Amino acid sequence: MDLNELADRVEALAGPDAEVDALIRCALFASAGAYVKQSPINGAWCIYEIGFNGKERSWQPHGLSHEQRLGSFTASIDAAMTLADPSWWLNISSPLSEAAYGYSREDLRVMRAGFEMIGPPYSSAARTDIVGDPVSRIARVLTAAALRTKALGAVHTLEGGL
Amino acid sequence: MANDAVRVPTAPGSREPSPTVSAASGFDPSRGVLHLRNGRADRHPQTYGDGVTWCGKKLLGKPDCSVDRVETFLSYGSEVHVTAFDPEVATCERCREAFDAAYSAAFPDGLKPLATIRIGDPNAKELLSPSTMTRFFGPNGEGSSAYERFVRSMSCDSDGSGEADETRSSSTGGDSAGPKGIAQ
């Protein structure tokens, strides 16, 4: 699955999703040819690959942090932030007016904010917007923005940048 | 909070949202309501009821007021009271476009750069944490200006040398903030 398609899927989620977590892990960290499938044993979403003997085997994550191996990118801010490089930037925008947070009533403030993640080549940003309750969505917003930034970076690399 | 462009009249006689719908969907009506189009306006012009979106999804919540047939779909003006946007609705491209159009009309100045945070900043997680978001942007939150001040107070120098703003790993404000000039 293309990283931008994955980001679209993350943005559309209304809550954490273990399958999407596995798809992200597979797309970013697993070797080519690895795939996500539900385990017939416990129903968990796992990453498999085809071994040298031609048989399916579980993919073994090596060299990844705890959050990258086991974290839920769609639920945990800690896990989501491991998808971004520490040198990247997150740009938060908000409506110009304070009133935009509560269109008519102070007691019903609703956030609308743009989250732009900026990575190499640092000239373009991957943007995800939040409208409504940001608390439950911030991890997914960060994850989606990181995926889009990685997609942008991949395109840039293919085009011979940097 | 005084902004005539987004002032909405008080709802005349609107009914309470169905607790069954709210409970089933996980939508908290106390956080706000959303109404895009009153699908029952033809048959029950005087009735306040749940509507449907362009993509046919049933709306969660209730309109605060409905004048005749609400064809404007979504408005920050005087016809429809919009205080929340359900994530399910946001998956519909047409809904989002209409929402964005209405939003742009209500806030023509667009979004203002609020804060720029380096991912590697040790304070980044704190600045984005649910408790911080709730504190500033939740119900009765302190708002964007307070968040801006909070980001500024949490900023630390990327090299610990106490240099000027350009070296800060977190910053606030507009054009001067951000990675321009640091990663080239």
- In DSSP notation, B65-92 reads ---S---S-S-SSSS-------TTGGG-
Assess contact for B1 and B74: CB atoms under 8 A.
Answer: no
Residue ranges per structural domain of chain A: 3-158
Q: Which of B137, B172, B184 to mutate to test binding with chain A, by most A CBs within 10 Å of its CB?
A: B137
Of the candidates B91, B108, B125, which is a domain's last residue? B108
pTM of the model: 0.58
DSSP assignment of A62-101: -S--HHHHH--TTT-HHHHHTTS-TT-EEEEEEESSGGGG
B144 with A94: Cβ contact below 8 A: yes
In a domain, B156, yes or no: yes
Domain interval for residue B128: 115-172
Q: Are residues B17 and B53 in the same domain?
A: yes
Q: Are residues B104 and B124 in the same domain?
A: no
In a domain, B86, yes or no: yes
Q: Which residue has the tokens 């047409």?
A: B94
* Residue contacts between A and B (CB atoms, under 8 Å): 168
The top-scoring range by mean pLDDT among A40-54, A148-162, B100-114 is A40-54
ipTM, 2 dp: 0.73
Number of domains in chain B: 2
Residue B157: per-residue pLDDT: 36
Query: Residues A24-71: pLDDT tens digits?
Result: 999 999 988 899 999 888 888 999 989 888 888 888 888 888 888 888
B31 with A133: Cβ contact below 8 A: yes
Distance (Å, rounded) from C-alpha A140 to C-alpha B131? 16
Of the candidates B78, B108, B138, which is a domain's last residue? B108
In a domain, B180, yes or no: no
At B86, the pLDDT band (50, 70, 90 cuts) reads very low
At B134, the pLDDT band (50, 70, 90 cuts) reads confident
Facing B128 at nearest CB: one of A77, A105, A109: A77
* Position A72 pLDDT exceeds 70: yes
Contact list, B122 vs chain A (CB under 8 Å): none
In a domain, B82, yes or no: yes
Query: Residues B140-179: pLDDT tens digits?
Result: 677 777 888 888 887 643 333 333 333 334 554 443 333 3
Q: Are residues B22 and B70 in the same domain?
A: yes
- Contacts by B148-152, CB closer than 8 A, 24 or more apart: B148/B114, B148/B115, B148/B172, B148/B173, B151/B114, B151/B115, B151/B117, B151/B127
A95 with B112: Cβ contact below 8 A: yes
Of the candidates B93, B108, B123, which is a domain's last residue? B108
Between A117 and A122, where is the model more confident?
A117
Distance (Å, rounded) from C-alpha B139 to C-alpha B67? 28
Residue of chain A minimizing CA distance to B96? A131
* Position A115 pLDDT exceeds 60: yes
Q: Are residues B2 and B58 in the same domain?
A: yes
Residue A42: per-residue pLDDT: 87
B178 with A91: Cβ contact below 8 A: yes
A97 with B130: Cβ contact below 8 A: no
Facing B107 at nearest CB: one of A85, A96, A102: A96
A81 with B177: Cβ contact below 8 A: no
The top-scoring range by mean pLDDT among A15-19, B20-24, B152-156 is A15-19
Q: Is A5 on the interface with B (CB under 8 A)?
A: no
Q: Are residues B120 and B42 in the same domain?
A: no
Burial class (CB in 10 A: 0-12, 13-18, 19+), B40: middle
Assess contact for A18 and A72: CB atoms under 8 A.
Answer: yes
Q: Are residues B8 and B39 in the same domain?
A: yes
Query: Residues A126-145: pLDDT tens digits?
Result: 666 665 556 667 888 889 88
Give the SS3 label for residue A117. strand
Q: Which of A5, A88, A92, A150 to mutate to test binding with chain B, by most B CBs within 10 Å of its CB?
A: A92
In a domain, B183, yes or no: no
Distance (Å, rounded) from C-alpha A96 to C-alpha B109? 6
Distance (Å, rounded) from C-alpha B60 to C-alpha A14? 14
Q: How far is B43 from chain A, CA to nearest CA, in Å?
A: 29
Q: Are residues B94 and B47 in the same domain?
A: yes
In a domain, B137, yes or no: yes
